[in-house]
Amino acid sequence: MTKKIYTKFRKGFMLALSSAILLSCNNDDFFILPDRGGLDAEGLWNTEGAVNMHLNKAYELIIPRFPYQTIPSRFDIHLVSDEHFLASNGSYGAQALGITGAPLNNHDIRYTGNSYNQNYLDNRYMDIARCNNAIKYLPESTIADAVKYPMLGQYYALRAMVYLEMVKVYGGVPLVLEPQDPDNVMTDGRSSARACFEQIVSDLNHAMEYLKDVKWGGSDWGRLTYEAVAALKGKALLYWASPQFNPLDDPKHPHDASRWQEALIANKEAYDIGLAAGRRLVEEYSMIFQIDGASNPETLISRPYSSTEARRGHDEERKSRPRSENQNGSPFLGYQPTVKLLRAYPMKDGNRIDEPGNYTFNNILFWKDRDPRFEATMAYNGSVWELSGKEGRRQWNYEGATNGGDLESANWAVYCKKFTTPGLAEASVPYNDGRGGSGMDWIEMRFAEVMLNLADCANETGDMATAKDMVRQIRDRADIEQGSNDYGLGRIASIEQMRELILNERMIEFSFENKRNADLRRTRNWSKLSGEFLEVYQLQVFGVNNDARRDTIAKLQTVVNETTGEQFRDRLDLNDEETYLKYFQPHVARPQETNFRAMFIPEYHNFYTFHNDFVRRGVNIETTIGWEGGTFDPLDD
């Protein structure tokens, strides 16, 4: 006979996970659980293997995946930006940018989760509950200190990661730091941003204490390290110092310059710790995501994958590839670059495309003489994009183009090749039955981010030399030429100029790595996108009408070497403007989708609000100011 019991969360990790429900529903029925036949083992926290299983599940739930691998309901709100075309699908991300549909309402922001189970991103407070249980009970464990304290350090760091991500979205969130049960219900409501950051930094300090001098073996790759946690602490304090939480012109919340000094110290420490641990930039920018595991010196936080181990893979290779090397599958809109991103890359000497220098920007041949990261990331018409082991393979993107006999997707003038694997056979691209795909690791945080975080802090505290040095190293790695303007840095003389350059540098360096949305909100530039259009390039061949264009396509695809299969187009020098215009029209910005508008993002969207279920069924959860019925100001102490 099934009996109902009130479960205390010390008893077993499977039952303990239900603590997360508390914050989502103030209803005791959620805490009356059926007896599981003795599954609530008292010895969980004294058993190393059991705790490791519990910890591994925490990693599975908390360490980010590839951005488009799992997109819960309305989660595209947190993925869209001005760097890619995901919002053109017209869903909630499009509403977040204001380009179509009704404005976002209180019920649309579901980052905290809207389900009560143990799946990735379904409920962030369930993730926190898992960490809370370990932080509460591991110190009392009989497991040897040398084993349990590194475990404890990881739980502290993982909890801090979840809270940091939620604070970035909501500003201030309920701080649940203890296991919950029906006799101990957390009722304090939302905490201020200040209180949240203090807790995040405290957790990371504990994590650094417990992980110092800990070295993981090869089988533990992916576990958080001392240097990774130091980088997280620097990142958290960067956010606390940045305009999203530290406005420059808000009389109610005066700017606090001392926060930048604190962030500078933390990020310099993270940089030094990283160097001492052997972290550095990968020599070739194009190889960053090609080098997996411990062999990659730039990786700080990653999610390891495998193409051969069951249920350890992903389908991102398929989402990036063109039809011709993708078993006729379509690429994903989130990997289609906007015109704005394409124009953000400087020239080969580091100067902006609108600045004088050793190279002149050509609006028709927009890829010519650009920052080498452009070539490493973008596959434009006629460019070399080696796929499926085909050495020297060229990608043709004009409307009506075929590659290898397969018709390419319409209106894709430029692809992202950052997450594709040159040697992976086309037949191995699909991820089916838990196996296949590339097995490429997702890198959530790289050493380059620590460097740009340090550059940001140094600039804001008046240390222009350090700020420039960090950017200079990153541009030197990218093979940008020093030129006559110091990698494009020579004319930068003010904090404001350097601030703008660093934000643009982040857009380039971390393109398609899901940093842009948060960067724009952190710097209070999110609402400043208003008035801009989300545009991508499209390309047609030369011809005054459809028949003439069909003739041009036929000529371009005429085989001129039967032995090699070489076509007429393969012999064209597309860096010669006269030759190019003989066969192709200039790229044009693709017209907006029907009824799509210029972007419009209200300023109060710097902080989102909790969805209605969380507010109405939770405990003292106020709505964020600016939103309907909003009374909670995250910046109030």
Give the start-to-end residue ranges of the domains of the chain. Answer: 1-65+110-214+607-637, 316-440, 541-584
Classified as helix, coil or strand, 434 is coil
Per the CB < 8 A criterion, the answer to whether 392 and 386 are in contact is yes
Checking if the pLDDT of 8 tops 70, the result is: no
pLDDT tens profile 388-421: 999 999 999 999 999 988 999 988 999 999 999 9
- From residue 294, give the alpha-carbon distance in Å to each of 261, 270, 302: 33, 19, 10
Per-residue pLDDT, averaged over 471-485, amounts to 97
Residue 619, classed as helix, strand or coil, is coil
Q: Whole-prediction pTM value?
A: 0.93
Contacts of 231 (CB under 8 A, 6+ apart): 270, 274, 300, 301, 445, 449, 450, 453
**What is the average pLDDT across 75-86?**
97
Provide the H-helix boundaries in 461-567: 464-477, 495-509, 516-522, 546-556
- pLDDT grade, residue 617 (50/70/90)? confident
Q: Is residue 446's pLDDT more than 60?
A: yes
Beta strands (DSSP E) in 511-587 are: 537-538, 559-561, 566-567
Enter the tokens of residue 203: 């957790």
61 near 17, Cβ under 8 Å?
Answer: no
Residue indicated by tokens 């990261």: 373
3-state secondary structure of 632: strand
Interatomic CA distance for residues 494 and 471, integer angstroms:
15
**pLDDT (0 to 100) of residue 155:** 98
Q: Which uninterrupted H or E stretch holds 32?
A: strand 32-34
Span 154-177, average pLDDT: 97
Mean pLDDT for 304-327 is: 95
Is 332 strand, coil or helix?
coil
pLDDT band at 19 (very low <50, low <70, confident <90, very high): very low
Q: Which residue has the higher pLDDT, 47 or 590?
A: 47
Of all residues in the chain, what percent carry a pLDDT higher than 70?
Answer: 92
Residue 16 has pLDDT above 50, yes or no: no
User: 1-65+110-214+607-637, what's its fold?
Assistant: 1.25.40
Q: For all residues of the chain together, what is the average pLDDT?
A: 91
Residue 362: name the closest of 583, 571, 508, 575 by CA: 575
- How many of the other CB atoms lie within 10 Å of CB of 494? 10
pLDDT over 90 at 185, yes or no: no
Q: What is the mean pLDDT of residues 29-56?
A: 63
pLDDT band for position 291 (cuts 50, 70, 90): very high
> 175 near 191, Cβ under 8 Å?
yes
Q: pLDDT class for 613, splitting at 50, 70, 90?
A: confident
Task: Match 């289609």 to its residue by tokens.
Answer: 336
Residue 13 has pLDDT above 50, yes or no: no
Instruction: Give the span between the Cα atoms of 232 and 184, in whole angstroms.
Output: 31
pLDDT band at residue 184 under the 50/70/90 scheme:
low
Judge whether 316 and 437 are in contact, CB under 8 Å.
Answer: yes
Q: How far is CA 95 from CA 121, 170, 525, 602, in A?
A: 21, 18, 17, 12
Amino acid at residue number 557: Q
* Mean pLDDT value across residues 437-457: 98
Q: What are phi and psi of 410, to 5 degrees?
A: -70, 150
pLDDT for the residue numbered 187 = 64
Question: Over the stretch 355-368, which tens digit does the pLDDT of each residue have?
Answer: 999 999 999 999 99
User: Measuring CA to CA, which residue among 274, 259, 110, 135 is closest to residue 197?
Assistant: 259
Whether the predicted pLDDT of 488 surpasses 70: yes
Q: What percent of the chain has a predicted confidence (pLDDT) above 90?
A: 87
Alpha carbons 257 and 266: distance in angstroms, whole number = 15
- Name every residue whose Cβ is closer than 8 Å to that of residue 286 and which is 6 or more positions away in sequence: 376
Q: 3-class SS at 114? A: coil
Task: Give the model's confidence band at 552: pLDDT under 50 very low, under 70 low, under 90 confident, else very high.
Answer: very high
- Per DSSP, 584 falls in state B
Across the range 518-546, mean pLDDT stands at 97
pLDDT at 36: 29
State the alpha helices, DSSP H only, in 17-144: 21-24, 48-62, 92-97, 124-137
